[in-house]
């Protein structure tokens, strides 16, 4: 075929390069692991499979390392493409699937290992966080194969699993994710590894994971405030707001920092800025600059969408307070720590007490509310503390003037949790490390 028939537009090439860089930057790949693929239609209406080349560095992709293959026949491009091209092709033939990412999700891979005699059927991975539980169908299938690299067994099992699941794990190898876009496949990968990290972190705190999983499976509504909205990434969702350049710039800067700092997985959470009678709202608060996400205007009045609990909480905060900014994100360390019962205690904590100097300077304590929290209680605590953890439901923070103020709170909270986790692992007495004045809370 003529060379120009294999040439994709620059936007697709840049998207591959961006996602490859994100996977490396987030430690979801090593320098050469994994692969990325999508379906693409050329100017003549011919559908191609676009996939990364064998041996390519996903974090530093050159355009020559992105292959364009016929979706219906094997051609010369297959010899350059990933060794797992046949697997990708079968997954891409599934109804509604347009993109696939295979990543070496380290936390999830570690948490799906077992030491059973092989061959065996590993147990599925069950998330303990709301994002993983709802977006990944409450459990992630895990399979063991004799040859975990491009084998016929993989080519059969993985597409079969992804016919019914957004994610599947090959034991000791990594994760395959599907999506109707590359963004959605990346979303599933990030959510899945985040769930693995939360379970791994909870284990470091001595939390009874088996018991917690059983309780969640029996009654998820008792552990999570509300199901997150289904992932959606339509072009029309990327609303352009005229005349608000400085505000949009600030939103994009904050959203990029939430993503880069690991304060919430890719395209999760939400943030907003108050206007006179409207709020500027980003329903996907964790957004890398190169990919972005939707930003829109919504009324502050009483016409809020009762079905969108996330959006509704933003509007209720503005209705009952003078705060100018709101951020909701899912800090994974806080998700784990909220299930921690300190040594000698009998109940889950209703507050976090910082043990580090900076955390103690800014926050005497940070409240933790149960999943069935009353929004009025959340608003009341935000008045006093500016940040509140919802067990099983993320972290809400507010700013009196800027997004930067609201961002500071979850960023500090993550460090506070890391110090608590580390001190517990060292066997230190957390009560002795807590400031005496915190006991008066």
Q: Alpha-carbon distance 239 to 297, whole Å? A: 9
Could you give the strand order of the β-sheet that contains 366-369, starting from the edge strand earlier in sequence? 296-299, 278-282, 270-274, 325-329, 394-399, 387-390, 366-369, 351-352
What's the farthest any 2 CA atoms get from each other in the chain?
76
Residue 226 DSSP label: S
- Specify if 225 maps to a domain: no
Together in a domain, 321 and 412: yes
29 near 104, Cβ under 8 Å?
yes
Closest to 420 (Cα-Cα) out of 218, 204, 243: 204
Together in a domain, 216 and 298: no
pTM, full prediction = 0.94
DSSP H stretches of helix in 338-426? 357-362, 375-385, 403-425
Q: Alpha-carbon distance 336 to 206, whole Å? A: 11
Helix (H, G, I), strand (E, B) or coil at 161: helix
119 upstream amide cis, omega within 30 of 0: yes
Together in a domain, 135 and 260: no
Helix (H, G, I), strand (E, B) or coil at 16: helix
Q: Alpha-carbon distance 287 to 403, whole Å? A: 15
Residue count of the chain, please give it.
441
- The whole-number pLDDT of residue 6 equals 46
Boundary-marking domain end, from 220, 246, 280: 220
Together in a domain, 351 and 208: no
Residue 346 DSSP label: -
413 near 387, Cβ under 8 Å?
yes
Together in a domain, 398 and 276: yes
- The whole-number pLDDT of residue 387 equals 98
Could you give the strand order of the β-sheet that contains 47-52, starting from the edge strand earlier in sequence? 66-70, 47-52, 35-41, 99-103, 174-179, 167-170, 142-143
177 near 188, Cβ under 8 Å?
yes
Together in a domain, 181 and 242: no
- The whole-number pLDDT of residue 237 equals 53
Boundary-marking domain end, from 220, 254, 272: 220
The rounded Cα 220 to chain-centroid distance in angstroms is 19
Helices 182-204, 209-218: axis angle to 10 degrees equals: 130
Closest to 13 (Cα-Cα) out of 54, 56, 51, 70: 51
Together in a domain, 188 and 243: no
Q: What is the mean pLDDT of each run of 10 residues along the chain (441 residues)?
A: 54 95 96 95 89 92 90 55 84 97 97 96 98 97 90 93 97 96 98 98 97 97 95 62 85 97 98 94 96 91 71 95 98 98 91 95 96 96 98 98 97 98 97 84 63
Together in a domain, 110 and 14: yes
CATH number, domain of 193, equals 3.40.225.10
- Specify if 226 maps to a domain: no
Boundary-marking domain end, from 220, 248, 263: 220
Range of the domain at 114: 3-220
Q: Alpha-carbon distance 268 to 159, whole Å? A: 26
- Specify if 14 maps to a domain: yes
Together in a domain, 251 and 206: no
Residue 273 phi, psi dihedral angles, 5° rounding: -130, 130
> Domains in the chain: how many in total?
2
- The whole-number pLDDT of residue 71 equals 72
Together in a domain, 130 and 59: yes
Q: Alpha-carbon distance 179 to 102, whole Å? A: 12
- Specify if 393 maps to a domain: yes
Together in a domain, 245 and 372: yes
- Specify if 183 maps to a domain: yes
- Specify if 415 maps to a domain: yes
Token pair of 110 as six digits: 């570690």
196 near 111, Cβ under 8 Å?
yes
Together in a domain, 297 and 335: yes
- Specify if 61 maps to a domain: yes
Q: Alpha-carbon distance 388 to 380, whole Å? A: 10
The rounded Cα 134 to chain-centroid distance in angstroms is 12
First to last CA, the chain: 73
């Amino acid at each position: 075929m003529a060379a120009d028939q294999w040439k994709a537009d620059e936007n697709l090439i840049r998207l591959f390069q961006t996602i490859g860089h994100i996977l490396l930057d987030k430690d979801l790949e090593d320098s050469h692991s994994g692969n990325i693929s999508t379906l693409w239609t050329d100017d003549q209406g011919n559908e191609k499979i676009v996939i990364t080349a064998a041996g390519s560095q996903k974090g530093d992709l050159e355009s020559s390392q992105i292959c364009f293959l016929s979706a219906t026949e094997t051609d010369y491009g297959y010899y350059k493409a990933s060794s797992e091209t046949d697997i990708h092709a079968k997954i891409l033939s599934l109804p509604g699937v347009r993109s696939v990412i295979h990543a070496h999700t380290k936390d999830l891979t570690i948490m799906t290992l077992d030491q059973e005699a092989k061959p065996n059927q590993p147990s599925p991975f069950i998330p303990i966080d709301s994002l993983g539980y709802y977006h990944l169908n409450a459990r992630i299938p895990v399979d063991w194969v004799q040859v975990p690299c491009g084998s016929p067994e993989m080519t059969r099992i993985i597409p079969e699993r992804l016919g019914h699941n957004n994610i599947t794990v090959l034991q000791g190898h990594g994760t395959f994710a599907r999506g109707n876009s590359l963004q959605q496949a990346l979303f599933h990968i990030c959510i899945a590894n985040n769930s693995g990290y939360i379970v791994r972190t909870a284990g470091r705190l001595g939390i009874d994971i088996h018991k917690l999983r059983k309780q969640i499976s029996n009654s998820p509504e008792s552990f999570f405030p509300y199901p997150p909205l289904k992932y959606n990434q339509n072009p029309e969702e990327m609303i352009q707001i005229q005349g608000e350049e400085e505000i949009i710039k600030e939103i994009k800067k904050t959203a990029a920092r939430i993503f880069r700092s690991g304060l919430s997985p890719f395209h999760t959470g939400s943030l907003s800025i108050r206007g006179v009678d409207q709020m500027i709202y980003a329903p996907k608060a964790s957004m890398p600059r190169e990919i972005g996400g939707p930003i829109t205007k919504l009324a502050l009045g009483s016409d809020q969408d009762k079905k969108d609990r996330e959006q509704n909480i933003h509007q209720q905060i503005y209705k009952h307070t003078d705060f100018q900014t709101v951020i909701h994100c899912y800090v994974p360390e806080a998700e784990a720590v909220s299930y921690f019962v300190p040594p000698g205690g009998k109940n889950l904590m209703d507050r976090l007490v910082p043990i580090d100097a900076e955390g103690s300077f800014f926050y005497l304590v940070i409240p933790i509310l149960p999943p069935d929290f009353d929004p009025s209680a959340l608003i009341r605590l935000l008045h006093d503390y500016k940040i509140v953890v919802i067990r099983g439901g993320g972290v809400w923070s507010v700013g009196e003037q800027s997004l930067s103020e609201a961002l500071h709170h979850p960023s500090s909270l993550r460090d506070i949790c890391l110090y608590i986790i580390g001190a517990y692992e060292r066997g230190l007495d957390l009560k002795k490390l807590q400031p005496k004045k915190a006991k008066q809370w």
